[in-house]
Every structure is written in structure tokens, then in C-alpha cells.
Structure 1
């Protein structure tokens, strides 16, 4: 997030006297730059500049040597202070925290006895003041004004009393990642004056950028693999500064602003390039000229190419990476930087550097964004390039870096200048001046619209048609490409508060659709049964198909692979809910859950690989291509599934039957010995007529082991869309409630073990006829009494008539009919 340092902001935008950081934050909010946080130093109390008068080194018993110092802090007599650092000398100016001061981390300073002396304060390091991580020695003040001496307020001198505003910038407004952009927005919010440091002669620049010359350092733009038709680099400025003292310290004011902006001072060349980037929004890079061989070639990476970046990481480059290369062994043969992301270690400015080549370039946003993500290497430069940088800035930024290196490092600028410019002007947008008012409802006049767009920096001319204007966006606003973009800018700068809040009347609704209501009924039934509804990510590893025991020719193995997965470990879209639901169950068990009963409703994807039919350039491809694209969209049916530990197959099949009853769907169950991930002998195939709805049963032992689930875990998965489609369209008609008593009759039938219980149940229901109010299977028995290959199924019949009390003879007649029907259909006989 960008930081707003008020004194720096005030150099380019008019700030009224006494304006605080809170007022600036409120003004920026009005133009869409939201406050993220206000940072303060945390330093209070007396913090002063001191001059070391004398010191004596004293070696302690523990082997440590301390300095007993006398420090002039602007009082009548020096103060005695114990210091453990040794990087200062007599007459050096240091920062002294006197008793009563509080340093960052709520560290209170008091006079205390230590090492045999009473230390009346503390000489501070940069880290102790919150100015950086340097803790090797105390902070010695150099290059300070002549009027700075003992007793000077160090809080004001070091900027520790300044609050810094951190703002939140949306991705389309990359120009606000700079003092230049924020100052422009602040001036628009307040109506104050604005000085653009991005103009050819920026504030503080000694000279305007010179015109390119023929003898500049050779640069070739050779991108032979552009993305979306856009060249990776369309401008490259190179300047040379000789005789730079790279060991010269960066001035305190520059280091202070870098720290306040969240950056660590490193060395003069690095600090200068970072400072210019923060000020203008244009990243620049400094090379050790002595390590370069002309020409610099900007090209795509070659297969197998590698380079070591400034962070000392050896990186394997991708053919889409845009590289900065030089030519020690041939044209463009050595990579010296990943363009717009990070430079290379081979050409880094070091202690022996004397001549510096300054690069300021303009790169394609998509190219840089992909490279930064591909290498997991977000940098301050890539954050700006991927949001869009002003293509007119490179020569201005390069000149600013050159001036600072000359001024602060004693360098001498070469007259030779390189500026390879292949940029194009922003496209003109035709805007109807009535459009903002018609879209927003605020009666903006034509004059208000044109004045607002001109204040934005756009070139506005009268259009060929009446009531239109031709708007050329400023170069720093690549996000303005359509009329609605300009409408948004008019609304933003004219004030969102001008838009009235009109709540539309809510039309009478019909509630949920029939299918949505039925799906809700399924979810509610599972929740009432004690299952917890969860939501899992639909991304899976290719190895999940093996873990679930899917056969080699199983269609569920034909998963759709993502082009840009969130993680390489899970690049496929799931083809079954159990692929992710079982993992969720195992994760909960691994975190201490004793029992798990979870359910999920979600999409699965039945993929098919289809090449992209879209043409380059983003143009509308035509109705035929659109129809083909729509036909190529993979099927994504909605499924419902559950995983339950510490239960049996009958329990999970009972859940399936419960869902069928809730929806009023007649389902049939049949054994299915060849359906992964289920146990071959404990899996039920669920159908409605000729439609397969899914499967339920016990997971196979090898699946439980692979997924780290308890043995005999049960599950089901149903095609919820197919289940809902099987619901009868006719409304359910209520039956008349009988006032006569129910008659109970139990029937035990012996059948072959291979006969499905569902077939026997169907026979019993058919035999019982209309008098059967309910038929339930309540017992299954096998044993020696029945004989080999036989089983007994016991059914509870509840019989009732609408107009009479059933007699014993009538119930016996129903019983006989049941036995006869079972014998005819499934060969069942009454158990003796």
C-alpha cells in the first residue's frame, strides 16, 4: 500500500497551514483513496541532539568494553551516559533520549546505575528510534544543517513527529502508487494548486531531459513473443553517470522519506532509484556500467535459460518472461534482469562501482504481472508496472536519477542519451455529454463534464456530432478506455454524495423456484438427521482418483485441468463430491473430532478438453464461435453427498431413502459390486425408473486406508439435479385420515440370499394392496435353521381401512396375499 508523507505531498500539492494527517485522509477519501492506517513513530518526550565531548573505554569483568561518555545536550554541563557502541568519535553529533522519553515498543528511558556509573539518558541507534534495522552502532548525524547542534529537537529533525498515512489504492489506479499521483488527487479533492513532478522539467530537476543522441548506449527491443499482441517493452531510456561515489551516504532527508514510505535505505544509487520511483511512480534501475557489454537487448527468455537475481536466487526462466540482457558472448546472450520485476546479481552496483547506467523503461502490464506471480517475486517495481505506468515518464525519471547521482554522488552525466520509443498515444474516446446524467441521475451540465475531464488531465475537444466531445485520456490513466470509464471519473470527482439514495420498490416475489425449494428440502432433511453441512474447494489432486480406487477407464478420471490453478498440488476440478468430502472428513478426524457426519451440496465437473477458440485482441468472435464456446462448456451437475463415520451401510442407505421420501420420489435399490469407492459387497445402486441417481454404502477398506478414514466409513453421493427432476410434477394430494384403528401384521419371508431386499419389499407392498398404510423391513436373519444360501426378511405391516375396523379374517387375507405375491415374484416362502 502507498504511504503519504505530508511534507513530501506538500511539495507538489497545496496544503493549508496546520493541515493534519486526519484532514488529508478525509480529503483523499472523497476521491476514492481510502485510509488504511495512520502510522506514528511511537517516540515521545525529550529526544535531543547531543555532541560527544569526551569518552573513556572501560573493560568489564564479563569481557565487554563500554564507553563512559560525557555528552553536551545543550545544558549548562554535559551528561554522563553509558554506551555499548564504539562507532563514534569525539565531536560527533548523536541522538540522545533523556530521562522521561519513550521510544518505540513503549521503552521508557530513566536515569539508572549500570557498569558502575549513573547513565543519565541513552545514546540511540537507528533501530531503537524505529528508523531502520541497523543495531550495530549508534546513529551518528552527518550532513545536517549548520544550525543543528546540542539541544536541537531530534524528534523534529528526524521527522519522528510526523504521522504517515497509508492508503488503499484500487488496481485500476496505479498512478496513485506515487507522490505525483496522490498529490494530483489531493489537489482535485481540495481545489488547491498542483505542481506535476512528472513534467519534462520536474520540481527539483536541474535540467530538462535531453533529446536522444546517436551515440547513446545501444538498446534493442526484440520481443518476438508478445502477449495479446502487445509488445513486452515499448520504451527504454538509458543514461550514463560516471565517477559516482557509491559509498557516499544518502542524505538524511532522503533516508527519512524512504523509511516513512516503508523502504529500507541501502546505498546511494539504490536509494536514489527508490526515491524517484516513490516520487514519480516510474521504477528505474541502476547497473554497474563496467559489467555491461552493449547492446542491451530486451527479449523473451529461451528454453532452459537461468539467471541469478539480486536476492541471490538462481531462477529457471519461462519462455514468457521478458528479460533485460546484454551481449558478452553474442547478441542478447546473458540475462541481467527480469524486466519490471528484479535485476540480476551479475550487474549489481557494488562498492567498486564507479560508472552507472540508469534504466527507465515502460513494460506491458500483463507480461510483468505474470512474471512476478510465476516467480513468486512481487517487488515494488512489479506492483507499479502491472497496474500501468505513464509511458511519458521514463526520460523524466531517468533525468531525475541522473541529477541526484550528480548532486549527491559527485558523478558526471554523459551527454549521450538513449531513448528507444515505440509507444502509441492513448485512443480518443467519443463521449456523449448527456451520458453521465442519464446513467447516474445527477443533472451534470456539459460544462461540468468537460471541466471535470480537463481537471483530470484529459484533452477534451468538441465532437463531430452535436452533444459529444472527443476525450483523449492522459498518459498516466491507461484504465480509461470507454465512455463509462469517463462517466465514473465525472461522478467521482464531482462527489458521490451528490447521488441521491433512492431505494427501489421491491416487487412482489414468488419466493424460491420449485427446484431451489426441493434442493433446500434435501439439505434440511440431512441437517435434521444430524449431519453438518460443509463447503469444500472444488480443486483436487490427480492422485485422488487412485485413492478412491477408480478404474483406469472410469469417466471420473477425465477431469478438467485448470490453466492457472491456485496450487500445483490441486490443478483439477473434481468429478465427484466424495473426492473433496472424504478429505474434509479425514482433516476433521485428524484435528481431534471423534465422529464425523458431514454433507455437501455442490457442483462437479465432467470435463472435456477443448482448445480455445477466442481470437487475439479481445474482439467479438462472432455468433458461430460463441455458440461453439457455449457448447464446449463442460457439464456441471449439482450433486449431494455425505460421509459418516461410526455407522453402517444400512444407516447411510436409510438417509438416501429418507431424501426420496421427502421429495416423494420412488427409488429402487440394487447391489452394485463394481462402483468405487464403495465396498463391492456393501454398495447400493440408487435409481428412479431408468435414471441412475447415485450410490450409497460402505467405503472399500483400501479406500479408507488411502484416505486415512476409519474402517467401515459409509457414504453416499447422488446426482441432485437428477433426483429433483424425478420429483412428480403433480401436486401431492392429501389423503383422508381414517378414524378407525390400525391393524398390525408381521410377515417373515425366506428367500435366496442373492435376492435384493428391495425386490422383496416391492412384492410385499404389492400383495398388501390399498389397505397397507406402511410396510417396513425390520429384521434380516441368516443361519443354519434356514439352510445354505437362504435369508429371512421380516416386514412390519400396518393396515387400516377408511370406513371400518379390519377383522382378523381381513388381515389374514392380506397376509396370505403378501406371501402369494412374494412367492410368485421372488420365490419367497413364509418362515415357519
Structure 2
């Protein structure tokens, strides 16, 4: 929300300086994001009217102007601005005035005397426009000090508002907070009804139920189409970040900024019948004010014109933007003003769905006072009639009272207030704060009964009122008090590894933790082919954050790519966070949340060092990192070739872990597919893994067992197996066949080459056998070896070597 300081001070009488006002706004939760002082040093700068303009005899781009400065005889000023011309009114800096860092003196430019300087808005610090002279209205009185004419000095103040403070998207809403914090009262706003001077009217109909429970309209006939926006209004709009366009549009914008009620103006002569509000129909189209054609569905509200079998043609997108066909222009003589109340749920996300973000939708999405439409119509009517004349017709209102928000009384207990804040605030101060905020207050035995105004959607329970008292009284006035009472210490279970341990392990292995949004671009998930079961957001913050992430890797690799684009050749990132999947079955169920850990790396396996040769990171480096995490809890991981769309064939694997004797899929590890890397515009090989956190955190509690006093026996065996048989499958078969006497299994050689059939490989392993109660006999060892050989031959077609 951006506004003029002088405009605000018309709504609340305070003596605080600008610096104090800015501090107060931030202290009460209305964070000031920017303050732009305007017209601080305009002494000696007046309104000048160019009476005559002739080319400079010695310079093609200069003009010799005779300027009326209200001093009697015209002043001769040489000017090179592209828009300089006879009849133009513009700021004139007289001799002796200061413009920026330059002091104006009488001078000669190419042999022609110049007694002053015609100025642009940028030179005066009023705007960024430096394309030409600041053009003032043609009726600006020559010689008037510019600061008086433009209402300067002033400041443009911009607030960063939280979504719950929808009431502060208006000068009136901010004024109540400032009055309460500064010990004053907001100036009473009076919207005296304008009497109807005509009998004509446009009927209003509602057909959207609770989505649009109130609609107010009024026709103003025979206004002057040549009337221009007065300078005081145009300046207030400009200092609020809105460019003045035309009188009718500017009045609706002005009323919206002042009251918080969005409005729209239709050309009455372009309307064909009753104006209504209804749901849009699938496939219906509407050409909006910005020229784009919006294709609608039944999720949108539209303003319609005329009855007919179709329920009237759409002429505006309710709560978002008006239509092109019925817009007001500089030729409009009869205008139909509208102001309505729309439920936030009916407007949220509608503009964003069309790629639009308007001031109206921004307010309606957060909630607008349902009592404001008639007030806004009256204020706008008076402004238009005073500036452009015209005959207002009767105000027409359609309302569905049963769907309008009802005021709710909230009890505020004195004891509860003291207990929550930790200090006692005098009753008179509490009542002053609440009344200054515009709340109706009645004292009772325990405290107060408070009725918030309709504009305060954020006040619903007792704690909301306590927060209001606290922020206005001042958070710095609340003493810091340590909590009392006994604190029960909760011991972390030994069976669960803390996330902090996993973080420390990843940092120890030279990774940097990243924190990404849980929201991602739906197109990014499509690129990864990971959009199955994704959860779209009904009201995303932006199109780039439109879906809940189904995996950590898309966001993590995106962060890695941004680092690589900034000339970082070696990047190693990890992240712990939740992923989300659509719940199966009932569509109303909440998404399924799973905590995971992921890591991604590019570049060399180790940082550059003079004593070690560099080599690129590979699959086994990331596998070692993942195994180091599993080693913290004792988890046993197994790997099988992966068919994941984002994985490089033959260089990626699915990760499994044992759960109650069964292998459960818990993650993925490997190299990203080159096709995906091209789509992500990444020129590096990316190695990564992602695994469920629960598996890595589930720790087996160690138990003591005595060491066997009897010797172990080792048998080395070598088998030839097909190349596609994984060691994990071989080791599983060996362990199952050998039984409990197998105390260790080591793979100490893998050979491919001469002596081994093509398409096969030789695996040499050592079996370590031992019993706790006796020494194994040769016969028992031979039986175990025989079982292993038979199992490998039966399960994998293994042939024993040698």
C-alpha cells in the first residue's frame, strides 16, 4: 500500500514528525518499506506559462522562451526540452533558486540571455520522468509557488502489509491505527448523500448467492466530458503509485485508495438492460480493459448486462477487471458507477488464473468492508458532480442480507489480558485503544464486550483483541519475564537418529545445506516426469510456485544450476524436507507428507589440492555418502538398476532397505539423464540421491554379545555369473544359504577378461564362518560351502571357477 503523507494527515490529526510517524507505523505492525520525500526544497520555483517560443539563432535544439512568472514583464529563458511550446505551463526556477545541487544564475547560452530554468519532474525530485518539462494544467496560475500549487512538501510512503490487515489497504484503515498509536482519533468521514436529480435508473439483479450479496449502482447523466482531473487529486494518485488517466477512472481509483472499496465506471449509453451478477459459464469469453480475451469457467463471477435467455452478456470480470466494450472514454456523458461486496473465496486466485493482478482483486481477495459500497458511491458521486457537473439519478441497491457477514461481540477479560501480556494495563488505556481503533466497547464486570467494525475481518476471538492492545500499547513496553514453573525434560529415544546428526554427517562430507520452497513450478515437475500424484495449489503465490513438490531433487538441482551458472565449478548441496503426494481414495483427504533427504553434486570429487590428482565425482562417491548416513543408524541398503525417467540408464539405481524381512523401496541414486540436463540447461554431469528420512533415522539399539572363544574359518570362492547379476543379489543368496554361522562376507575381486566368457563376470568372495559354542569341523564347513554353491547355481546360474 502506497500513499501520500499529507493525504493521511487529513484523515488523522497528529503532530508527530515524519520520522516519528514512520517509526510508529513499523512498531504497530504496518512495516514501512520505503519513504520518498517530495518537494523538500522548492524555494524560488514557481508556475511559469510560456507566452512565446522561438528558435535559438545559434543552436538548432534550443528555444528562446518568453515566460510569464507573475512578475509583470515576461522573463526570457533558453530551454532545450523536446516538449517546450507556447501556451505550456511548467515549473520555472527563478534566478537564485536551487535545483538539485545547482544554483540558478542569470547566464548567456550561445549569446542569448537566460533568466531562469524551466524544469522537468526529475530535476525537482518529484518523479523519475526526465523526458521533458513537467507539464502543469493549462489553468495553473502563473507565479504561484510550485509547492503551494502541488501541495508540497510531501512524502510517498509504502507499507508492506500482512495478508490479515486488509483494512489497511485504504487511508481510512491506516488512519485508525495511527490515531490509536499516537493518542488521537481518526477524523470522522462524512459521506453526505447526493440528492437524485433525475428519475431514470438501471435495475440491479443478484444471482450469485453468498459470493455477491451486495451490489450498488448509480447513474450520473449529462456530465461534462471535457472535465479534467484536478491537480490535487492527480497528485495524490501519483504519489500513491497510480498514473492518472481520466476523470471518471481517477475518481474510482481515488475512492478505492481512500475507503478501500474498489469501484468501476461503465458508459451508461453502452449498457442495454438490467445489470446483474452471476457465475460465468464454461467457455464464455470476455474482452477485458487491457485488450486480452479471457476464457472463463464457472469458477468466475461476471457482471452482466441485459436479461435474455443467456442471463445477460458479460461486461466485467467481477472483483478483477472491467470489460472493454462498456468502458468509459473521454466522450462519455452518462456514467453508471458500481460498487459491490464480493466474498473473498469467490475472487481468490481468479485473476492469477488469467495472469492478472489488479488493485481490486488484491483487496477483494483479502476482504472488503461489506458496508462500504453505498458510502463509496456517495463519495464518488459528489466528486464527479463537483468537478464535471451532471445530474445524479437514484442509488439502486440489491442486497442478500442473509449472506452478509454479521458483527460478532467478543469478550475481553481483564484477567486474561494481564495473564497473557504479563503486565496490567489501566482500564482507561484499554478502552482508549479499542475505541481509537474504531471498535465499539462496553464495559462489564470481568472486562469488556467488544464489537469490531465490519472492515476488521481479522478480529474474531479474545486473543485477537489482546494482540491489538499489545501492539498499540507498544511491544517495547511489555517487560521481559522468564516463564515460571517446572519444566519436564523429554529424552530423545535411542531408537531414532536425530536429524541434526544427519546434517552434521553431510557437512562433514563436504556438502552445504540448501533450503528450498516446498512449492515448485508444475512445469518443472513435468520436465522431470515427476508430476504423478502432484498436488496443485488452489491459490499459488505465483505461477512458478503452483504445485507441491513430489521430490526434493527438482528444487535442489535447480539451486545447483543457479550456482553453476555463477561460475561455481564444484557444487555439493543437500536438503532435508517434506515431499507431498495426493492421497489415494477420498479427494478430500490431506496430501501425504514424507520427510526425505537429498544430495546433488557436480565437479570434482574432492576440492583441489596440490597433493592429489583431480577426478570427477562419480556414482560410487555419492553411494559412499549415502552409505555413511546409513552407517549412523545401522541401516542396511541394497541397490537395483533403476528405470526412473530422470536417471541415466545403467548409471542409476533404486535404493531398498530391509523392513520386517522384506525389501522396501526407499529412494534413488545415480547420474541424471543427459536429456534432462539439456532441458535444465546444465552443462555438467550431475550425481544425486534422494531417500526417505525415516529409514535412515530408524536405529537398532546395540546389544552386547560375547566374543566367540573358538576360531573362525575362511573359505574363498570364485564364481562366474552373468554380467547383469548384481552383487547385492549374490550376497543375499549367500547369506540365506549359509545361515547363522556366516559371520562375514567380503567381495575381494571382480574380473572380466581372458578366461571369462563374454557377457559374464567373475566374482571372488571370502566366507568367514564361526560358532559361539564350539570349533567348526571340516565336514560342517564343507556342508555350508556346498549349500552356498548349490544356491548360487540355482538362483543365478553361477559356475564355480577353478
The TM-score normalised by the length of structure 1 is 0.77
Contact 1:47–1:95 under 8 Å retained in 2: no
Decide which of 93, 99, 109 is 1:97's aligned counterpart: 93
Q: Which moved more, 1:569-578 or 1:389-398?
A: 569-578
CA distance in 2, matches of 1:765, 1:334: 76
CA distance in 1, matches of 2:475, 2:341: 34
User: Quick check: 1:661 aligned with 2:631?
Assistant: yes
Tell me by how many angstroms 1:572 deviates. Answer: 5.4
Decide which of 365, 373, 384 is 1:394's aligned counterpart: 373
Tell me by how many angstroms 1:407 deviates. Answer: 1.9
Corresponding residue SS for 1:345: coil
Decide which of 154, 160, 171 is 1:162's aligned counterpart: 154
Tell me by how many angstroms 1:234 deviates. Answer: 1.4
Contact 2:176–2:185 under 8 Å retained in 1: no
Q: 1:231 to 1:259 in 2, by over 3 A?
A: same
Tell me by how many angstroms 1:486 deviates. Answer: 2.8
Match of residue 212 from structure 2: 232
Match of residue 175 from structure 2: 183
User: Quick check: 1:718 aligned with 2:691?
Assistant: yes
Tell me by how many angstroms 1:781 deviates. Answer: 1.1
CA distance in 1, matches of 2:651, 2:69: 92
The residue correspondences of 1:488-567 to structure 2 (distance < 5 A) are: 488-504=467-483, 507=487, 509=489, 514=494, 517-537=497-517, 557-564=532-539
Unaligned runs of at least 5 residues, structure 2: 603-615, 771-775
Q: What number of residue pairs does the alignment pair up?
A: 771
Decide which of 378, 381, 393 is 2:357's aligned counterpart: 378
CA distance in 2, matches of 1:758, 1:85: 80
Tell me by how many angstroms 1:397 deviates. Answer: 2.6
Decide which of 311, 316, 320 is 1:337's aligned counterpart: 316
Tell me by how many angstroms 1:408 deviates. Answer: 1.7
Contact 2:272–2:305 under 8 Å retained in 1: yes
Tell me by how many angstroms 1:690 deviates. Answer: 2.0
Q: 1:128 to 1:303 in 2, by over 3 A?
A: farther
CA distance in 2, matches of 1:671, 1:36: 54
CA distance in 1, matches of 2:784, 2:102: 90
CA distance in 1, matches of 2:183, 2:130: 42
Contact 2:200–2:394 under 8 Å retained in 1: yes
Tell me by how many angstroms 1:316 deviates. Answer: 2.0
CA distance in 1, matches of 2:185, 2:237: 25
Contact 1:704–1:710 under 8 Å retained in 2: no
Tell me by how many angstroms 1:96 deviates. Answer: 0.8
CA distance in 2, matches of 1:642, 1:814: 46
Q: 1:40 to 1:730 in 2, by over 3 A?
A: same
Tell me by how many angstroms 1:640 deviates. Answer: 3.5
User: Quick check: 1:296 aligned with 2:268?
Assistant: no
Contact 1:50–1:74 under 8 Å retained in 2: no
Q: 1:97 to 1:15 in 2, by over 3 A?
A: same
Could you list the per-position Cα deviations for residues 681-711 of structure 1 after superposition, in whole angstroms to 9, with x for gaps in the alignment?
9747644342325466655867667766789
Decide which of 677, 686, 690 is 2:662's aligned counterpart: 690
Could you list the per-position Cα deviations for residues 712-768 of structure 1 after superposition, in whole angstroms to 9, with x for gaps in the alignment?
86554433313433x3233578989x9xxx999995734434665357668699999
Contact 1:781–1:792 under 8 Å retained in 2: yes
Q: 1:609 to 1:63 in 2, by over 3 A?
A: farther
Tell me by how many angstroms 1:661 deviates. Answer: 3.0
Q: 1:4 to 1:54 in 2, by over 3 A?
A: closer
CA distance in 1, matches of 2:760, 2:685: 25
Q: 1:394 to 1:580 in 2, by over 3 A?
A: closer
Corresponding residue SS for 2:244: coil
CA distance in 2, matches of 1:448, 1:570: 45
Corresponding residue SS for 2:453: coil
Cα RMSD (Å) of the superposition? 4.8
User: Quick check: 1:221 aligned with 2:205?
Assistant: yes
The residue correspondences of 1:197-346 to structure 2 (distance < 5 A) are: 197=189, 199-201=190-192, 208-210=193-195, 215=199, 217-224=201-208, 226=209, 230-236=210-216, 238-327=217-306, 332-346=311-325
Contact 1:764–1:819 under 8 Å retained in 2: no
Q: 1:103 to 1:431 in 2, by over 3 A?
A: same
Tell me by how many angstroms 1:370 deviates. Answer: 3.2
Unaligned runs of at least 5 residues, structure 1: 202-207, 551-555, 614-631, 801-809
Could you list the per-position Cα deviations for residues 272-306 of structure 1 after superposition, in whole angstroms to 9, with x for gaps in the alignment?
33333333333333322222223111222222222
Corresponding residue SS for 2:458: coil
Q: 1:167 to 1:345 in 2, by over 3 A?
A: same
Corresponding residue SS for 1:777: strand
Q: 1:231 to 1:99 in 2, by over 3 A?
A: same
Contact 2:220–2:390 under 8 Å retained in 1: yes
Could you list the per-position Cα deviations for residues 103-131 of structure 1 after superposition, in whole angstroms to 9, with x for gaps in the alignment?
57x78766665465343432234565455
Match of residue 184 from structure 2: 192
CA distance in 2, matches of 1:103, 1:459: 51
Tell me by how many angstroms 1:3 deviates. Answer: 1.7
Corresponding residue SS for 2:272: coil
CA distance in 1, matches of 2:520, 2:10: 54
Q: 1:77 to 1:419 in 2, by over 3 A?
A: closer
Corresponding residue SS for 1:81: strand
Q: 1:290 to 1:457 in 2, by over 3 A?
A: same
Match of residue 414 from structure 1: 392
Corresponding residue SS for 1:187: helix
Contact 2:735–2:742 under 8 Å retained in 1: no
Match of residue 779 from structure 1: 749
Corresponding residue SS for 2:593: coil
Match of residue 114 from structure 2: 119
Q: 1:171 to 1:579 in 2, by over 3 A?
A: closer
Match of residue 423 from structure 2: 442
Contact 1:113–1:119 under 8 Å retained in 2: yes
CA distance in 2, matches of 1:22, 1:571: 40
Decide which of 721, 744, 766 is 1:752's aligned counterpart: 721
Contact 2:63–2:78 under 8 Å retained in 1: no
Contact 1:549–1:703 under 8 Å retained in 2: no
User: Quick check: 1:679 aligned with 2:682?
Assistant: no
Corresponding residue SS for 1:222: strand
Contact 2:495–2:700 under 8 Å retained in 1: no
Contact 2:720–2:801 under 8 Å retained in 1: no
Contact 1:687–1:694 under 8 Å retained in 2: yes
Tell me by how many angstroms 1:221 deviates. Answer: 3.2
